[in-house]
Amino acid sequence: MNAISFLSNSLPAPQELPAQEEDNVLEMNKAVPHSGNHPIAAVKKKTGRAFIRWLWYMLIFLPNLLVIKPITTVWYVITFPLNLMETNTQAEEPASRDTGSAGSAGSAADLHAEKLSKYIIEEDLSPTDEITINQDKMKPRPITEYLGKFHFPKKLVPQSMLLSDSRKLLILDLDETLIHSMSNSRSSGNNSDNPAGASTTMIHLVEVRFPQTNISTLYNVAKRPYCDMFLQQTSQWYDVAIFTASMKEYADPVIDWLQQTCSVQFKHRWYRDDCTLRPGVGYVKDIGTVAAQIDQARELSQLVIIDNSPISYAMHLDSAIQVHGWINDPSDSELLHLLPMLKAMRHVTDSRCILALKAGAASIST
Amino acid sequence: MEGGDDDSVPDLKLSLSSTPVHASKTHGGLLSPEYTDSPRGKRGHPSFSGTPTIHRRRRSSSRASSKNLKSSEISPISMIFRNLLILEDDLRHQSKGQRALKWQFTLFLAGLAGIAAFSFYELYFSSDRVTGLYRIGLQFLLIFISVTIVLFHLSGEYKRTMVMPRRFLVNANKGMRQFNVKLVKVKSTWLQNYADTIRSIVRRIAKWNMKLLVTMGAPDTSLYAFWSSLSIRCLPRLGAMDVKLVLNAKAFSAEIREGWEIYRDEFWRRETVRRRKQESQNNTPPKRE
């Protein structure tokens, strides 16, 4: 009996047990003296209590230690760099806010408008949204004074440009830009200039017939390397047109052949008759006029001309991309090199802003 | 019809007397006198000397183009920088796309090579003799992969998917050289890359959870607010990462180049703020009526 009471006293009372359960245990302890002759039953009760306690620990502490705590730790470790960066950003923010606040003074109205509508679309650079760079004491003048004020667009690419179906017009030259050709009679006499020298390029014979004289001539035509790829890809981004200083009788069969083999459709064709002849200079391509003839709304900012001859685009230097003339170099890859830039230029608001940069600092005159 | 050649072929196309040409080195790029002397426009005109002519022309036209601006108060430099931003952003996307393409096909080819190597080893080097249908299957696999790889190369796909993406920066820079701009790589630290990866993963999880909560009809709960805040905080980093455009030091002064850098950074700072605002507006659950 004493032994039992000693055992019951020496065992620590489980704190986690609910009060009701504890009462039950006490009642059982009290019941033991009455029963008197059943120490084994009492030991069994003790074991059961220990089991319950162990189960309790299992339920509460084990998941905490094995699942919740490790997950929290792993989460902390994973997001530690983020937290670190965020702390740094927050520390830097007050400093940078001074610079930004100068420009945001005029944007209170914009903020108000932004609250009213869910999607604010501001199409263009707004004169009110400008910044003034803080003066650097080491420099005599601030940059904005030198360059003029900076105006920022609300969106990178104007929504109108993304949503509208109209594309920029890419005007390509034919001879020595996309192809090279020479009459059959010439090539037989002089092989040094023969396009057949270009081993990898495909030679095609084009028959040119003149309705007036009824004379027909055969031309050997070779495509510039990457011509097919160039035309196929650019026709996905631009409306492609051909503007050649050659005559219609010659150009039409060649353009037809290009259309067939490259599986592209040229939107427009312009020939020598559409060029302006400048005495002593040559044929100049007035792309502004010819483009306006087909579409009045098409501005010069939406035109790009690619030509090998600077005389051809002398009237529109800011809209031109210069390529080297090609005769028979099989390793030429100039058309390939133009593709990334042409793809990137399809969304610019004014192509002249980019193409005029070939003039260097002179293009940025305030 | 104007002019005729010695062999009385009518003059149909312009000659190439004055323009620089890409002719193969074996032929020296020389034109025959007969060909050069056609009586057409460009004959006798001094060859293109490049920058000086453009400089002269440009000054007059830049004044004309500045008049075409939608608002006279907007500085031309802002227009140029804004268009440069668009150009740069598109080139960044292209660069990313090309890299993804390269990785995709590298993995594809590596997988094919791995399977081919396994088949080859099993057939000819393994100590256990391979027999029966398994052997035929392995042989078929080996031939199939070999043919695929040969066709992949011959069709030009290898060049498109592996060679050109690797040379993307070089190609783009060759095309843009005449415009005095250059695309350069921007190196980011491992910490930034790691943070970007985690951000994109967490953002995806947050978006998924938000969608689930909306479907369950509990968009007003604090759990939704938590995921919403997480998705805003995990917006992708913007700005001059990966690649950026720099202006040529020879053609532009230090002020202009510095101005371009300032303009770009300021724009992307504003864009980050705008996107965060828009994200928080998008995340606002629709009110029940």
Neighbours of A175 (CB within 10 A): 25
Region of poorest pLDDT, from A277-281, B110-114, B183-187: A277-281
Report the gap between the CA of B107 and the closest CA in chain A (Å).
Answer: 25
C-alpha B70/C-alpha B174 separation (Å) is 33
Q: Is A175 annotated as catalytic?
A: yes
Mean pLDDT of A174-203: 65
Residue A194, pLDDT > 70, answer no
Per-residue confidence (pLDDT) for residue A156, from 0 to 100: 86
Catalytic residue among A98, A173, A193, A228: A173
Per-residue confidence (pLDDT) for residue B12, from 0 to 100: 61
Average pLDDT, chain A: 76
Per-residue confidence (pLDDT) for residue A77, from 0 to 100: 87
Report the gap between the CA of A109 and the closest CA in chain B (Å).
Answer: 15
What digits encode the pLDDT tens for the residues B2-15? 333 334 445 566 54
Per-residue confidence (pLDDT) for residue A10, from 0 to 100: 55
Residue B201, pLDDT > 90, answer yes
Q: How far is CA A55 from the centre of its chain?
A: 58
Residue B170, pLDDT > 70, answer yes
C-alpha B196/C-alpha A190 separation (Å) is 62
Percent of chain B at pLDDT > 70 equals: 73
- Please indicate if any CB of chain A lies within 8 Å of the CB of B74: yes
Region of poorest pLDDT, from A12-16, A240-244, B118-122, B189-193: A12-16
What digits encode the pLDDT tens for the residues A318-346? 999 999 999 989 999 999 999 999 999 99
Estimate the share of chain B in helix, then strand, then coil, as percent rounded to the nearest 5: 65, 5, 30
The CATH topology of domain A165-363 is Rossmann fold (3.40.50)
Residue A80, pLDDT > 80, answer yes
What digits encode the pLDDT tens for the residues B73-105? 677 888 899 999 999 999 999 999 999 999 999
| ipTM, interface predicted TM-score of the complex | 0.75
Mean pLDDT of A168-176: 93
Per-residue confidence (pLDDT) for residue B11, from 0 to 100: 58
For residue B63, list chain A residues with Cβ-Cβ distance below 8 A: 365
Which tokens sit at B62? 């830049």
What digits encode the pLDDT tens for the residues A226-276? 999 999 999 999 999 999 999 888 899 999 999 999 889 999 999 999 999
Establish, for the pair of chains A and B, how many residue pairs have beta carbons separated by less than 8 Å: 329
Q: In this complex, do A311 and B259 lie within 8 Å of one another by their Cβ atoms?
A: no
B173 three-state secondary structure: helix
- Please indicate if any CB of chain A lies within 8 Å of the CB of B157: no
Mean pLDDT of B205-209: 93
A270 three-state secondary structure: strand
Per-residue confidence (pLDDT) for residue A59, from 0 to 100: 80
Burial of residue A215, with CB atoms counted within 10 A of its CB: 0-12 exposed, 13-18 middle, 19 or more buried: exposed
Mean pLDDT of B215-239: 88
A63 against B190, higher pLDDT? B190
Q: Is A318 annotated as catalytic?
A: no
Q: Where are the domains of chain A?
A: 2-72, 106-161, 165-363
Q: Where are the domains of chain B?
A: 77-186+242-282
Per-residue confidence (pLDDT) for residue A332, from 0 to 100: 93
CB A328 within 8 A of CB A195: yes
Q: In this complex, do A192 and B81 lie within 8 Å of one another by their Cβ atoms?
A: no
Alpha-carbon separation of residue A327 from A221, A229, B33 (angstroms): 10, 18, 15
Per-residue confidence (pLDDT) for residue A99, from 0 to 100: 46
Per-residue confidence (pLDDT) for residue A63, from 0 to 100: 79
Q: In this complex, do B262 and A146 lie within 8 Å of one another by their Cβ atoms?
A: no
Report CA torsion sign: B117, B118, B119, B122.
Answer: positive
- The residue of A146, A193, A306, A308 whose CB has the most chain B CBs within 10 angstroms, and thus the best one to mutate to test that interface, is A193
Average pLDDT, chain B: 78
Per-residue confidence (pLDDT) for residue A38, from 0 to 100: 60
Residue A54, pLDDT > 50, answer yes
For residue B248, list chain A residues with Cβ-Cβ distance below 8 A: 360
C-alpha A176/C-alpha A310 separation (Å) is 13
Q: In this complex, do A353 and B80 lie within 8 Å of one another by their Cβ atoms?
A: yes
Mean pLDDT of B33-47: 34
Per-residue confidence (pLDDT) for residue A300, from 0 to 100: 87
Per-residue pLDDT band for B55 (boundaries 50, 70, 90) equals very low
Of A81, A213, A355, the CB nearest to B194: A81
Residue A75, pLDDT > 60, answer yes
The residue type found at B43 is R
For residue B83, list chain A residues with Cβ-Cβ distance below 8 A: 348-350, 353-354
Place of tokens 């997950």: A71
Of A125, A182, A340, the CB nearest to B172: A340
Mean pLDDT of B126-155: 91
Region of poorest pLDDT, from A112-126, A176-190, A292-306: A112-126
Per-residue confidence (pLDDT) for residue A20, from 0 to 100: 47
Per-residue pLDDT band for A140 (boundaries 50, 70, 90) equals low
Mean pLDDT of B45-60: 38
pTM for the model:
0.69
